[in-house]
Chains A and B, each alone.
Chain A
Amino acid sequence: MLDATIILQILWTSLSTSSYYVLFAVAFALVLKVTRLFNFAQAAIMTIAFYTAFVAVQWLEWPAWAAFVAMMAATLAASYGLERIGFEALRKRGVSVMFVFVFTLMVSEFFAYVAMLIFGTWPQTVFPVIFWPVTLIGNIAISAWDLPAIGATVGALALLFVFMRFTRVGAFMTGVADNPDLAELYGINKRRIFLVAMLIAGAFSALGMFLYGTRAQVLPQTGLSLMLFAVAATIMGGIGNVAGAAIAAVILGVIQNASILVISSEWQGFLLYVFLFLAIVFFPNGLRLPQRRRFAPAAREILSDHDAPPVESKA
């Protein structure tokens, strides 16, 4: 039963299907890091993204690239609207985090409902055909969907990394995430940085939904259930740690898919709730490497300052 082909195939498929989970988790984690909001309205953004792509391809019969552009435009506009009309107004009124959280849930449910009214509850896909041709490498089936999906995800992550690391706005985002008021004292426009975080999260959500909707069928409520996975990954990855969320999403995806080898398949869906439960109860601060290592450089510095000749001076 447990031959190498099966294990490798499950690993490969779960790796490729974790592409969209990573995108959703990064979007969620980024907004949480920068704006400190549990943005469940991301599900609404995802719903808007999917149905825009669906309408463009299946109703208007646009080519895939045009549908993709339309989807991105609609999603960014929705993210802009959500930040400027929703979050900013709430912030100005000084409402509690819990209130904003309830607001985001409500937005998601509202859009799921609107989608149901317009598109019905029949499961839909971006393209009419969901069958992707496969290539066998060794005995592992690699579908024509897998590599572009992984490529798009890795590309998006690389862009985000470069943006955060090497641009001024990226550095400002880190600053606002660390201490928004202090950042403002330094002249950083907090409002603008919040908006940028929302737009990036919107783009990631849209890309993820495009990938998901070209492979699996989507219902108006699908956005919300996909979000739960992102929430579990974000908490496990450590709140405020975007890379941690991405890695946790891959690991959770692989565990969920590989679990079939040890547990009966009907329990697979249940695993997500186990993850969420474990994450919230046992790892509210994420799965971290031992604290010692995090502070090691600082400790070394102190040692070198105060103690007998440090190792470096001998060398």
Chain B
Amino acid sequence: MSNFARAAARRLFAAAACLAAALGAANPASAQDAFRFGLAMPLTGSQALYGQDQVKAAEWAVAEINKAGGVGGKKLEMIVLDTQADPQLGIQMTNRLVSVEKVPVFITAWSGVVKAVAPIANDNRVVELSIGASSPDVAKLGDYVYTTFPLADIDITAVAKYAFASMGKRRAAVVYINNETGIVPAEVYQKVFKAAGGEIVAVETYDPKATDFTGVLLKVRAANPDIIHLHGLVSDIPQVIAQMRQLGLTQPVTSYSAAFNPKLIQQLGAAAEGVIATSLAPGPEDSDKVKEYVARWQKEVGREPNGLPYTQYLYDAPYLVAAVFKSLDDKKMPVTGENFRKEMLAMRTFSLPITGKTTLNDDHTVVKPVYLMEVKGGKWTRKAIVGE
């Protein structure tokens, strides 16, 4: 029954988050004595399991910042809204954050939402921080859209280069989901692998609603690749790999950060062996801070967070926001989106508790090392660090 209790707690948590947001809206007076920012994430819908854990991480950070005295004596206040990872809903929620809550900065994720709400951020001169969306397009969304999360170019580039140079693979196949998540990364992989000197022998895509991938995988099998890169969503990646193995495709499979989660190993069993995914944040073996953080999840929630690296970035986000607010406060500058952006770029480099040093580039990207993880003996183990 503990699973049931956990599921119920998650629902309750989501409801509480919405309620908290509603209360925030009902009490504009708090705007005077607090620094406020928005967080628009999927709390319900198919991506909720990820979204809820990310929100939880951000809430822990806000609580800690406030416990340590807040920002220049004022409270840091986070307004959480539910996007269901749906662009349409994302637009509604962002409009609310910008027009009703009047926040100078908000955080959001999922490529589709990040792109859809970018015009609102740019038009209203409110900073949009994308954390988790990995599509390289995110860097080109306008003056007010920044990311603290390394974009897919980085991890896909690393995976493609590693496959060619270190694993000695020459014939790659690319299988991807036909939506925002898959299309651009699949192009990046092909470009990098070809540039390295490899050959792309098959490129296949599948419908986001598909549950059987036999046809797609048979086309891949016919092309006889020596490595397969799979770029899907966390909900379909295990199924694609299972069917791949069932159809006798024994080649190594590479994927990206969405595949790096414990459920993949549970669902695939031995078929998960050799699957390579990326992590864009240090693991518990790399830093004590991460070890503490994971231990806290185990203690308070009873499990590892879904999509650990994403939650690490979300945990760090309020610290970045607080640092900029603090600087604005010290300089007695009005807290507007325009000033927030100016000050954030002037500071440029931030030292964040879990993911470490973060430098914002002029081209709206950040650079971080890529950790390649591989399933070995039924566990995720570190295979290599690229670009350290």
Contact = CB atoms under 8 A, between A and B. Distances in A.
Given A119-B7, A123-B235, A132-B246, A265 B44 contact: no
B7 A6 contact: no
B59 interface: no
B222 A3 contact: yes
Contacts of A219: 46
A253 B34 CA distance: 58
A122 interface: yes
Nearest to B175: A265
A254 B62 CA distance: 54
A9 B210 contact: no
A136 B248 contact: yes
Contacts of A14: 212, 214
| B47, B208, B209, B214 — most chain A CB neighbours (10 Å) | B214
Contacts of B4: 59
Contact of A1 (B3, B219, B242, B268): B219
B10 interface: yes
Interface stretch (B199-207, B325-333, B361-369): B199-207
Given A134-B246, A216-B239, 14 more contacts: A1-B219, A6-B219, A6-B221, A58-B3, A59-B1, A117-B11, A121-B49, A122-B48, A128-B267, A129-B269, A131-B270, A219-B46, A225-B209, A265-B216
Contacts of A17: 212
B271 interface: yes
Interface string B142-170: 00000000000000000000000000000
Interface in A7-26: 9-10, 13-14, 17
A121 B86 CA distance: 14
Interface in B255-272: 266-271
Interface string A202-235: 0000000000000011010000010000000000
Nearest to B14: A120
A118 interface: yes
Contact-residue bracket for chain A: 35 or more
A13 B45 contact: no
A266 interface: yes
Contacts of B238: 130, 217
Contact of B212 (A1, A13, A266): A13
A269 B247 contact: no
B245 interface: yes
A141 B250 CA distance: 13
7 contacts: A1-B222, A121-B44, A121-B47, A131-B245, A131-B270, A216-B239, A225-B209
B207 A265 contact: yes
B247 A9 contact: yes
Interface in B34-81: 44-49
Interface of B: 1, 3-4, 7, 10-11, 44-49, 178, 204-212, 214-216, 218-219, 221-222, 235-236, 238-239, 242, 245-248, 266-271
A120 B48 contact: yes
A121 B46 CA distance: 5
Contacts of B44: 116, 121
B3 A59 contact: yes
Contacts of B266: 128-129
Nearest to A125: B267
Q: Give the secondary structure class of B's interface.
A: helix
B50 to A, nearest CB: 9
A265 B267 contact: no
Contacts of B11: 117, 120
A232 to B, nearest CB: 15
A257 interface: yes
Contacts of A9: 214, 218, 247
Contact of B206 (A119, A121, A265): A265
| A14, A117, A258, A265 — most chain B CB neighbours (10 Å) | A265
Interface string A247-284: 00000000001111100111111100000000000000
Contact of B49 (A13, A122, A259, A267): A122
A174 interface: no
A266 B205 contact: yes
A266 B178 contact: yes
A216 B212 contact: yes
A143 interface: yes
A130 B268 contact: yes
B215 A258 contact: yes
Interface string A136-171: 100001010000000000000000000000000000
A10 B218 contact: yes
B266 to A, nearest CB: 5
A1 B218 CA distance: 9
A118 B246 contact: no
| A10, A261, A266 — most chain B CB neighbours (10 Å) | A266
Given A120-B10, A130-B239, A261 B215 contact: yes
